Amino acid sequence: MKKAVIVGGSNGIGLAICNNLIAKGYFLEICDRSIPEDGKLDTNSFHFNYCDLSVFDESVFIPLAEDLDVDLLMITAGIGRVADFQAHHLVEIDKIITVDTISTIKLIHIFYSRILSKKTFYAGVMGSISGWMSTPAAAVYAAAKAGIVRFIESVNIELELAGTDNRILDVSPASFKGSKFYGGKNDLTITSPLADQIIEHLFARDTRFIPEYEETFKAVLERYHDDPHEYGLHSYQYKKDSGRIDNSKKVKIGYLSGTFDLFHVGHLNLLRRAKEQCDYLIVGVHESGKWKGKETFIPLEERKAIVGACKYVDKVVDSCREDSDAWDLWHYDKLFVGSDYKGTERFVRYEEYFKDKGVEIVYFPYTQGTSSTQIRKTVMMKTNENKE
The C-alpha angle with vertex 317 and arms to 313 and 319, in degrees rounded to 5, equals: 115
Binding region for ligand CTP (CB under 6 A) out of 196-204, 217-225, 311-319, 333-341: 333-341
Q: Is the sign of the CA dihedral 168, 174, 177, 180 positive or negative?
A: positive
Does 254 engage in binding with ligand CTP (CB under 6 A)?
A: no
Does 191 engage in binding with ligand CTP (CB under 6 A)?
A: no
Quote the CA–CA distance of 256 and 275 in Å, as a whole number: 10
Q: Which of 122, 289, 307, 327 touches ligand CTP (CB under 6 A)? A: 289
Q: How many residues bind ligand CTP (CB under 6 A)?
A: 20
Does 312 engage in binding with ligand CTP (CB under 6 A)?
A: no
Q: Is 16 helix (H, G, I), strand (E, B) or coil?
A: helix
Q: Which of 338, 130, 159 is nearest to 232 (CA)?
A: 130
Beta carbon nearer to ligand CTP, 155 or 253: 253
Q: Which of 166, 259, 282, 335 touches ligand CTP (CB under 6 A)? A: 259
Q: Is 185 assigned a catalytic role?
A: no
Q: Which of 294, 342, 349, 377 touches ligand CTP (CB under 6 A)? A: 294
| Beta strands 280-285; 168-171: pairing state | unpaired
Nearest distance, CB of residue 383 and ligand CTP, angstroms: 18
DSSP 23: H
Beta carbon nearer to ligand CTP, 48 or 366: 366
Q: How many CA atoms does the CB half-sphere of 263 hold within 13 Å? A: 15
Q: Is 292 assigned a catalytic role?
A: yes
Cα distances (angstroms) measured from residue 310 to each of 302, 305, 313, 315, 368: 13, 9, 6, 10, 21
Q: Which of 142, 138, 145, 143 is nearest to 84 (CA)?
A: 138
Nearest distance, CB of residue 387 and ligand CTP, angstroms: 24
Give the DSSP H/E element, type plus range, for residue 330: helix 323-330
Q: How many CA atoms does the CB half-sphere of 293 hold within 13 Å? A: 0
Q: Which of 217, 266, 274, 283 touches ligand CTP (CB under 6 A)? A: 266
Does 207 engage in binding with ligand CTP (CB under 6 A)?
A: no
Cβ-proximal residue to ligand CTP, closest one:
338
Nearest distance, CB of residue 320 and ligand CTP, angstroms: 15
Name the active-site residue from 180, 240, 290, 294.
Answer: 294
Binding region for ligand CTP (CB under 6 A) out of 2-10, 224-232, 335-343, 353-361: 335-343
Quote the CA–CA distance of 266 and 285 in Å, as a whole number: 15
Give the DSSP H/E element, type plus range, for residue 75: strand 70-75
Taking the alpha carbons at both ends of the chain, their separation in whole angstroms is 71
Nearest distance, CB of residue 313 and ligand CTP, angstroms: 12
Binding residues for ligand CTP (CB under 6 A): 258-261, 266-267, 270, 289, 292, 294, 337-338, 340-341, 366-367, 370-373
- The catalytic residue positions are 292, 294
